Copies of this chain bind each other. A is one copy, B any other.
Amino acid sequence: MRTSIATVCLSGTLEEKLHACAEAGFDGVEIFELDLVVSPHSPERIRDLARHLGLTLDLYQPIRDLEGVDEALFAQNLRRAEAKFRLMNRLGIDLALICSNVATATVNDDAVVADQLRRLGDLAARYGVRLAYEALAWGKYVNDFEHSYRLVQAADHASVGVALDSFHILSRDWPVEPIERLDPEKIFFVQLADAPRMQLDVLSWSRHYRVFPGEGGFDLAGFMAHLLRTGYDGPVSLEIFNDTFRQADPFRTAIDGLRSLIWLQEQARERLASEQRGEGNVRLATLPAVDEPSGFNFAELKGTEPTRLRQMLDQLGFADSGRHRSKPAVELWSQGDARVIINAQRGAEGRLQVAGIGFDVVEPLASCSRALQLHATSVQRTQQLGEEVLQVVSAPDGTEISFARLDDQGRPPWMVEFEHTVPNDGLITGIDHINLAQPWQHFDEAVLFFESVLGLRAQPSLDITAPMGLVRSQVVSSEDRAVRLALNLAPLGRGDHHGRFHEQHIAFACTDVRALARQAVANGLKQLRIPDNYYDDLQSRFDLDEAFLGELRALNLLYDRDEHGDFLHFYTEAIDDVFLEVVERRSGYDGYGAPNAPVRLAAQYRV
The verdict on A599 contacting chain B, using a C-beta distance below 8 Å, is yes
Residues in B with CB closer than 8 Å to A76 are 543
- A243-B469 contact in complex given A37-B533, A39-B531, A40-B606, C-beta closer than 8 Å: yes
State which of B43, B198, B247, B494 has its C-beta within 8 Å of the C-beta of A468: B247
Q: A249-B494, A598-B34 are in contact. Are A11 and B198 (CB under 8 A)?
A: no
Which residues on B sit within 8 Å (CB–CB) of A16?
467
Q: When the two chains form their complex, are residues A38 and B531 in contact, meaning their CB atoms are under 8 A apart?
A: yes
A389–B489 Cα distance when bound, in Å, is 51
Using A11-B469, A37-B534 as known contacts, list a sample of 15 further A-B pairs with CB atoms less than 8 Å apart, ordered by residue number in A: A13-B467, A13-B605, A16-B467, A38-B599, A40-B531, A42-B533, A43-B533, A79-B540, A199-B201, A243-B469, A243-B491, A246-B468, A246-B491, A248-B494, A492-B492
B537 adjacent to A37 (CB under 8 Å): yes
Interface 0/1 of A81-125, CB less than 8 Å to B: 001100100000000000000000000000000000000000000
Question: Within 8 Å of chain B (Cβ to Cβ): is A602?
Answer: yes
Contacts of A531 in B (CB 8 A): 37-41
Say whether A397 faces chain B, with CB atoms less than 8 Å apart.
Answer: no
Name 10 A/B residue pairs within 8 A (Cβ), A-sorted.
A11-B469, A37-B534, A38-B531, A38-B599, A38-B603, A39-B531, A41-B531, A84-B540, A199-B201, A246-B465
Which of B39, B84, B533 lies in contact with A39, CB distance below 8 A? B533
Q: Does A23 make an interface contact (CB < 8 A)? A: no
- Determine whether A345 belongs to the interface, using a CB cutoff of 8 Å to chain B: no
Evaluate contact between A497 and B497: CB separation under 8 angstroms: yes
Instruction: Please report which residues of chain A, range 27-52, place their CB below 8 angstroms from some CB of chain B when the two chains form the complex.
Output: 33-34, 36-43
| Chain B nearest CB, measured from A60 CB (Å) | 12
Chain B residues in 8 Å Cβ range of A247: 468-469, 491-494
Query: Is A185 engaged at the interface, CB distance under 8 Å to the other chain?
Result: no
**Which A1-36 residues have C-beta < 8 A from chain B?**
11-13, 16, 33-34, 36
Q: Is A326 an interface residue (CB 8 A)?
A: no
Find residues 129-178 in chain A having any chain B CB closer than 8 Å to their own CB. Answer: none
A83 touches B540 (CB 8 A): yes
Any chain B CB within 8 A of the CB of A532? Answer: yes
Docked-complex contact A532 and B42, CB < 8 angstroms: yes
Question: Nearest Cβ distance between residue A603 and chain B, in whole angstroms?
Answer: 7
Quick check: is A283 within 8 A (CB to CB) of the other chain? no
| Complex contact A11–B494 (CB within 8 A) | yes
For window 520-541 of chain A, which residues contact chain B by CB distance below 8 Å?
529, 531-534, 536-537, 539-541
Query: Would B534 and A38 count as touching, CB distance under 8 A?
Result: yes
Does A348 lie at the interface of the complex (its beta carbon under 8 Å from any beta carbon of B)?
no
The answer to whether the Cβ of A276 comes within 8 Å of any Cβ in the partner chain is no
Contact of A80 with B by CB under 8 A: yes
Q: Point out the residues of chain B lying under 8 angstroms from A201, CB to CB.
A: 198-200
Query: A470 an interface residue at 8 Å Cβ cutoff?
Result: yes
> A79 vs B540: C-alpha distance in the bound complex, in angstroms?
7
Distance from A50 Cβ to chain B, minimum over Cβ atoms (Å) = 15
CB-based contact A34/B465 at 8 Å: yes
Q: Which partner residue on chain B sits nearest A33 by CB separation?
A: B537
Do residues A599 and B470 form an inter-chain contact, with CB atoms below 8 A?
no
Docked pose: A532 CA to B34 CA in angstroms: 13
A603–B87 Cα distance when bound, in Å, is 21
Is B470 in contact with A83, judged by CB distance below 8 angstroms?
Answer: no
Q: How far is the CB of A536 from chain B (nearest CB, A)?
A: 7
Q: Across the interface, which residues of B come within 8 angstroms of A41, CB to CB?
A: 531, 533
A39 near B470 with CB under 8 A, answer no
- Kindly identify which residue among B13, B34, B200, B468 contacts A606, using a CB–CB cutoff of 8 Å: B13
Residues of B within 8 A of A243 (CB): 469-470, 491
Query: A204 near B: Cβ within 8 Å?
Result: yes
Chain B neighbourhood of A601, CB < 8 A: 38
Residue of B nearest to A541 (CB): B80
**Set of chain B residues within 8 Å of A465, measured between Cβ atoms:** 34, 246
Chain B residue, CB-CB nearest to A532:
B42
Given that A199-B200, A533-B42 are known contacts, is A540 also in contact with B80, CB under 8 Å in the complex? yes
